[in-house]
């Protein structure tokens, strides 16, 4: 459905209040991160006489949408009120009934959306349906809404997931401590934070070098709302089958992205352990990632993490495949020419929408690349 419904930007004295209420919607929406994908994160509030009388967010894929939760919370207080919602209400039967029906039944008289939903079954249809029923419906076309929806919008429009590049490093930009010291650069608080982030992802991608040298598990500990697919990008060489990744497939799935030239006997051994294979048509190492991301998008994965090493991250940045960067920075200075830098052949990064969070002695910095594939 694509309805010819022009947005009605809110430019009068109500704008600051509107954006304040929408900001609360975005805050609520993020509570569903990791639990609702490939659906968008959505938050909603019901306002009566300037007071919030109901709040809700989309809590689980396949479950009631944010509007339904907010209206239920408000009860009879919703009648005659205004519904603020981060995304245009749906107007189609999917896993749940249309939210527009719930809005009409609740007696809402005005709806304010953060942005229009480009999903083909909605795409202005929800707004048109509400207006046809006599409800005032305004679209803020808020950049903050688009930023919140970025992973959803990218998957919807490019058929590829939102790609996050992540690493931990010392203050002087090194990824490893000297031999004989602790393998951890950051402290316990930062590592616990990283596990929480892992538990919201669809997939975590590493290269063969990281598999061999670090022997990572790539699981969220404790488990999060999602169990990410663990992905190894392989070359035409064998992978060590004794790695913990392959010994724990019963706990979390493993996908090996490999070219046709990958050794058949190693493929058989890993398949016997339960590993899944995605065979790429690529012969050049740098061509594997784009094919892999297309495959993960076909599986409707929304957020994927590339966790190294330096060469794989370098390939991703060189091909403009990265949308967001997450970096854990330790106050330590390691030094030494032998210590690895996080990304191969990367001179500098210019980030946007940067956030910096203190995690005990460490810092967590996240930001988006200017070339991130966020539709306009």
Per-residue pLDDT tens digits for 282-325? 777 778 899 999 999 999 999 999 997 888 999 999 999 999 99
Per-residue pLDDT tens digits for 28-53? 999 999 999 999 999 999 999 999 99
Q: What pTM did the predictor assign?
A: 0.92
What pLDDT is stored for residue 269 in this prediction? 98
Residue 8, pLDDT above cutoff 60:
no
What pLDDT is stored for residue 173 in this prediction? 86
Residue 375, pLDDT above cutoff 60:
no
Q: Which of 67, 88, 307, 324 is catalytic?
A: 67
Report which of 328, 281, 325, 315 is spatially closest to residue 207, judged by C-alpha positions.
315
Give the SS3 label for residue 340.
coil
For residue 127 the two structure tokens come to 């707004």
Q: How far is CA 11 from CA 8, 43, 139, 141, 142, in A?
A: 9, 23, 11, 11, 12
Least confident of 89-103, 162-176, 355-369: 162-176
The conformation of residue 40, written as its DSSP 8-state character, comes to P
Residue 160, pLDDT above cutoff 70:
yes
Mean of the pLDDT values across residues 322-335? Answer: 93
Mean of the per-residue pLDDT values of the chain: 91
Strand order across the 51-57 sheet: 51-57, 43-48, 82-85, 110-113, 136-139
Mean of the pLDDT values across residues 68-85? Answer: 98
Active-site residue 276, yes or no? no
The conformation of residue 357, written as its DSSP 8-state character, comes to E
Give the SS3 label for residue 80.
coil
For 190-228, what is the HEC assignment?
HHHHHHHHHCCCCEEEEEHHHHHHHCCCCCCCCCCCCCC
Report which of 158, 119, 151 is spatially closest to residue 302, judged by C-alpha positions.
151
Q: How confident is the model at residue 249 (pLDDT cuts 50, 70, 90)?
A: very high
């Amino acid at each position: 459905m694509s309805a010819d419904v022009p947005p009605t930007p809110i430019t009068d004295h109500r704008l600051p209040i509107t954006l304040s209420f929408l900001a609360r919607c975005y805050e609520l929406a993020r509570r569903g991160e990791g639990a609702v994908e490939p659906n968008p994160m959505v938050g909603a509030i019901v306002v009566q006489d300037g007071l919030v009388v109901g709040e809700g967010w989309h809590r689980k894929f396949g479950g009631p949408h944010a509007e339904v939760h907010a209206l239920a919370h408000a009860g009879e207080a919703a009648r005659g009120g205004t519904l603020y919602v981060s995304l245009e209400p749906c107007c189609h039967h999917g896993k749940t009934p249309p939210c527009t029906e719930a809005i009409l039944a609740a007696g809402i008289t005005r709806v304010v959306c953060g942005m229009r939903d480009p999903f083909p079954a909605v795409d202005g249809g929800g707004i048109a349906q509400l207006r046809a029923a006599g409800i005032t419906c305004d679209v803020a076309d808020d950049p903050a809404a688009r930023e919140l929806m970025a992973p959803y919008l990218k998957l919807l429009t490019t058929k590829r997931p939102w790609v996050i590049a992540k690493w931990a490093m010392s203050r002087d930009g090194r990824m490893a401590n000297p031999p004989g010291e602790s393998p951890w650069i950051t402290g316990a608080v930062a590592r616990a934070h990283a596990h929480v982030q892992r538990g919201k992802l669809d997939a975590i991608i590493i290269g063969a070098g990281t598999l061999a040298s670090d022997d990572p598990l790539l699981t969220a500990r404790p488990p999060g709302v999602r169990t990410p697919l663990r992905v190894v990008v392989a070359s035409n060489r064998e992978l060590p089958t004794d790695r913990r990744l392959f010994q724990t497939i019963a706990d979390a799935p493993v996908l090996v992205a490999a070219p046709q030239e990958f050794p058949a006997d190693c493929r058989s051994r890993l398949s016997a352990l339960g590993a899944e294979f995605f065979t790429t048509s690529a012969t050049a190492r740098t061509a594997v990632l784009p094919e892999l991301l297309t495959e993960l998008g076909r599986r409707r994965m929304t957020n994927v993490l590339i966790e190294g090493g330096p060469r794989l991250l370098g390939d991703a940045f060189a091909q403009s495949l990265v949308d967001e960067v997450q970096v854990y920075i330790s106050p330590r200075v390691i030094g030494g020419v032998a210590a690895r830098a996080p990304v191969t052949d990367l001179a500098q990064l210019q980030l946007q929408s940067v956030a910096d969070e203190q995690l005990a002695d460490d810092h967590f910095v996240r930001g988006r690349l200017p070339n991130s594939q966020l539709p306009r």
